[in-house]
Amino acid sequence: MRIIHLTDPHLTTLPSFAAGRFLFNKRFLGAMSWSRRQKYHLRSQLDLLVKDIRLEAPDLLICTGDLVQIGTEAEIIQAKDWLDELASICRVILVPGNHDCYQRESYQLIERYWSPYFFQERHKDQGFPSIFQHQGITFIGLCSAQAEPFWSARGMLGGEQLEKLKSILETSSDTFQCIFLHHPPVPGMCAKRKSLRDAILLSHLLKEQNVQMVLHGHVHQNQIYTANERTKVFATASASNVAGHAPASYRLFEIKAGGRDWEVLASLKVFGSSITKELTRHSW
């Protein structure tokens, strides 16, 4: 099975002068921050990536959030149009990021417009974790995003979601398990102000349940690391970035069952001053 991971496109047409519309509101700071960052996140760069992904003809595309900047309805509708475009390539599954749930009302908006990409039809009333199973692989989406105070980009899964995750992992233990979420799943992988509040609980669960693979975004960097002896974690840079330190990237995973083992051929494609491709091989 061929899977694409892309993340953090930060799609918005919010103009730099828009901040004044949100005075005395958290969105004021978000719009101000966007006026500094908008030169690094370009729709043209994102379109280049998507064009390349189309040629790869994947079976599944996983997006780990931050589709927008300050969670307004206009941005959320714009991102829905982009998701519909991706869905013409292959099945798309999505979890939200902190920018998508920027204000309390943003969550209702993303549920209204993005729900077909969060949940399979038959699971849509059960909320997160989302589940998709195909060819002996279980994909589990976690929602780590919630509205936070203006200084915070932290995330949280909460007890109920962790309980449900535990039971999904127990019942699918004979499959290859791939969890995806916006925030890094283990402590210490980003500044505290941006971290997952219950990362310790999640990392215990990853170890206890022998999860093979985790995908995440949020850090805007390409990283491969381990959460324990078995769990490999892949972070991917923003899909629209033109900044030299972390140019736009996506990952392609080819997951194969080989006898009693699993093999993953992972390629990272980076769209910097030139386009580079890096291959790594992983087995469990």
Contacting residues toward Fe ion, per CB under 5 A? 66, 97-98, 218
Is residue 126 within 8 A of residue 140, CB to CB? The reply is no
Q: Which is nearer to Fe ion, 80 or 216 (CB)?
A: 216
Is residue 93 within 8 A of residue 121, CB to CB? The reply is no
Residue found by looking up tokens 């999505």 in the block:
94
> Closest approach of Cβ 278 to Fe ion, in Å?
24
> Closest approach of Cβ 103 to Fe ion, in Å?
15
The reply to whether omega before 184 is within 30° of 0 (cis) is no
Q: Which is nearer to Fe ion, 155 or 247 (CB)?
A: 155
DSSP H helical ranges for the chain: 26-37, 43-56, 73-86, 104-118, 159-171, 199-208
> Closest approach of Cβ 155 to Fe ion, in Å?
8
Q: Which is nearer to Fe ion, 197 or 218 (CB)?
A: 218
> Closest approach of Cβ 109 to Fe ion, in Å?
17
Q: Which residue is nearest to Fe ion (CB)?
A: 218
> Closest approach of Cβ 96 to Fe ion, in Å?
10
Q: Which is nearer to Fe ion, 6 or 137 (CB)?
A: 6
Write out the E strands in the chain. 2-6, 60-63, 91-94, 130-134, 137-141, 176-181, 213-216, 223-226, 232-235, 249-258, 261-271, 275-283
Is residue 265 within 8 A of residue 278, CB to CB? The reply is no
Q: Which is nearer to Fe ion, 168 or 251 (CB)?
A: 251
